[in-house]
Structure 1
């Protein structure tokens, strides 16, 4: 883990320090344009967004120590109010500046975080953040102490593709793990697949994990990583789980949207988690192909699909228990065991289903009969608690699945 942290830290710091946003993860065959000159540059400070995830619509100068950023969604389509922003401040000497965040729609949502290295992030002290207005009219004024060291400010921790690459590289060192390229995004970025399974057993029950369909939903990613690391652990439970189950993880389905700092969509102007069924986008088409390949393989059977997201609270959106899933009542048993392991924490569940709704959890159930779960983490949930959530929910999932009889086609094959 220490090596992993070092690798991630070095990669993120290097990328954020020197790379224009649109060049950060472009494939080598694409030509990248030089960074545009900063829009806001005074004798006191300058502001830019030329790093992966950097985003605002425009910047204007009120006076040499007072700036205004207009925050806007990536397109004019129907947008969820995930009002992402990320920028960097440079100064020649220590000073204080004010930055107003104004929004074309939706209003201020995410409490600002700051970092000097792009790796370690802190929530801004409330005494330096003034939020005014109600709901879609909210604005924010930030008072920042800046100096010669660049200061990053973002809606959530910056979590670009380089972090996933470093993390996947570390995971791939395990003898039971393999990383491959599932396919590419609309702009040619690699969408990677991590397969976890002990190599001896041919017949597999399959768990599918997917993340980052929506670019700003960083807390879901912060839970997904320890969830997967727990599955890959050295415990007897993890070893027994890997001997019976394969886990297919697609941690970053929307890399274009992440790099460009989108609120919700991919570069096709589509909410990917409203495209399961139509599969009109290259990113969701890859997931359709993956699930169909599992279904077509007589030696595999999809048991669960879990989709990691973020919202205003910690909650699991699930299929209702009265609808028959295979495994039967898996979600109920899993979340009850998870609650037992988290006695000082309330596990929230919202069980509902609309047939044909083009979201991942509904598609998993409608087409494959498998329990689909949307695993939501709150925007402001304590980051240490998120690690615990990831770990304990993974332990509860493995225990629950191991107590579940295998499907008939695989049970007979395993005899």
Structure 2
């Protein structure tokens, strides 16, 4: 199957359907520490969070068909304002329901999405959501007419550790993929990993892709999945790439935060993407170990590190072009090529963003000299555009790496 035909099959429901199952199937956490659940009821409806990624701070019935929930971070502010929420509404009978979403800190960020099966998600219509401010903090009120079946409401599509296991199982069915474990999180959850290369090959040049350091940044995951699947295409470009490059994928570095429905942190009250260098947390220590093993192996060399995230807009955070890298000027070449491939879409790059932070991009460049990028997708970017951007970015990456002599010795 050609690369074009292979990717034509991709859609957001297909990605989630292949990796998510139903949300009900995700209710049993794999870790020894249980996910705390909230629950409250009126005579008409019950609201609960007893499923992976389900999280609100508290719930209070206000009367028939009306509830109030509070949405707060896992740790006391200051914390990045990634105000995640996910809850289930189970009606006793069909009818109208109102949920008041209250925030003490940061305010409402994610436009509510709904699903009855955990696979097909849609934005709630404009007339179902009222956004207003109290003392300068954005609040939200949802008014819905429920049918006679449960409905899930969340800030983004739900992609939990169960989702990743199912996507990895499907992806690892390819002879090009080896599935393995990077290690365990602080609470004992598995941190899955994939290696992609030509069968029986031993490529020297290494690419590392990671994701979900920050739990609610689901659009980064929606980009990573088609990006990875593009590398597995039967297209001649992808075949040549796999012969020369080995790609290591760590799609969910923070499974504790993901399954608990946290805003930003892991279970150690730490923003993992500020722990690169200190390496206080077990999750980042595992990445430090992986990178160190590549660095000390004379038969391997790191060529590129990509960290998938979400923010308010699509943007590539990179290191500056005047910083020497191996391959030289690769990031400029990659993103210039991507712009050529997507002439109707403006590639947004910031090469000077937070260069002093202890984040993955800065640490990996400083220690290993490889090109590094934080690939950010907007919270509300059109989901079909995410797939297209991920696909074209993967193609442009392969074209640039194969076309600029990256395999030459530049030690």
Answer yes or no: same fold by TM over 0.5. Answer: yes
SS in 1 for 2:181: strand
Q: Displacement of 1:19 after TM fit?
A: 5.5
1:239 maps to 239
Q: Displacement of 1:269 after TM fit?
A: 0.3
Checking the alignment, whether the CA contact within 8 Å between 1:300 and 1:410 is kept in structure 2 is: no
2:288 maps to 288
SS in 1 for 2:87: strand
Distance 1:330 1:10, change over 3 A: closer
TM-score w.r.t. the length of structure 1 is 0.92
SS in 2 for 1:394: helix
Deviates more, 1:168-177 or 1:42-51: 168-177
Residues 249-278 of structure 1: per-residue CA shift (max 9 Å, x gap): 000000110110000000000000000111
2:3 maps to none
Alignment of 1:372-387 (within 5 A): 372-387=372-387
Q: Displacement of 1:200 after TM fit?
A: 3.9
Q: Distance in 2 between matches of 1:222 and 1:73?
A: 23
Q: Displacement of 1:126 after TM fit?
A: 0.3
Q: Displacement of 1:54 after TM fit?
A: 0.4
Q: Distance in 2 between matches of 1:198 and 1:399?
A: 17
Deviates more, 1:72-81 or 1:248-257: 72-81
1:187 maps to 187
2:4 maps to none
Q: Displacement of 1:406 after TM fit?
A: 3.8
Q: Displacement of 1:352 after TM fit?
A: 1.3
Is 1:51 matched with 2:58?
no
Residues 293-324 of structure 1: per-residue CA shift (max 9 Å, x gap): 11011111000100000000000000110111
Q: Displacement of 1:344 after TM fit?
A: 0.7
Alignment of 1:239-388 (within 5 A): 239-352=239-352, 357-388=357-388
Deviates more, 1:74-83 or 1:331-340: 74-83
Q: Distance in 2 between matches of 1:398 and 1:226?
A: 14
Distance 1:145 1:355, change over 3 A: closer
Q: CA RMSD in A?
A: 2.2
Distance 1:205 1:285, change over 3 A: same
Q: Distance in 2 between matches of 1:11 and 1:220?
A: 15
Alignment of 1:116-127 (within 5 A): 116-127=116-127
Q: Distance in 2 between matches of 1:365 and 1:43?
A: 57
Q: Distance in 2 between matches of 1:197 and 1:135?
A: 54
Q: Distance in 2 between matches of 1:203 and 1:54?
A: 41
Q: Distance in 2 between matches of 1:19 and 1:250?
A: 20
TM-score w.r.t. the length of structure 2 is 0.93
Q: Displacement of 1:144 after TM fit?
A: 1.3
Question: Which residues of structure 1 form unaligned runs of 5+?
Answer: none
Deviates more, 1:259-268 or 1:68-77: 68-77
2:24 maps to 17
Q: Displacement of 1:39 after TM fit?
A: 3.2
Distance 1:321 1:31, change over 3 A: closer
Q: Displacement of 1:65 after TM fit?
A: 1.1
Q: State the aligned residue count.
A: 402
Distance 1:340 1:327, change over 3 A: same
Checking the alignment, whether the CA contact within 8 Å between 1:306 and 1:375 is kept in structure 2 is: yes
1:398 maps to 398
Checking the alignment, whether the CA contact within 8 Å between 2:315 and 2:375 is kept in structure 1 is: yes
Residues 151-177 of structure 1: per-residue CA shift (max 9 Å, x gap): 000000011111111111111111121
Deviates more, 1:364-373 or 1:76-85: 76-85
Distance 1:351 1:125, change over 3 A: same
Checking the alignment, whether the CA contact within 8 Å between 1:8 and 1:166 is kept in structure 2 is: no
Is 1:131 matched with 2:126?
no
Distance 1:6 1:304, change over 3 A: closer
Q: Displacement of 1:328 after TM fit?
A: 0.4
Q: Distance in 2 between matches of 1:158 and 1:331?
A: 31
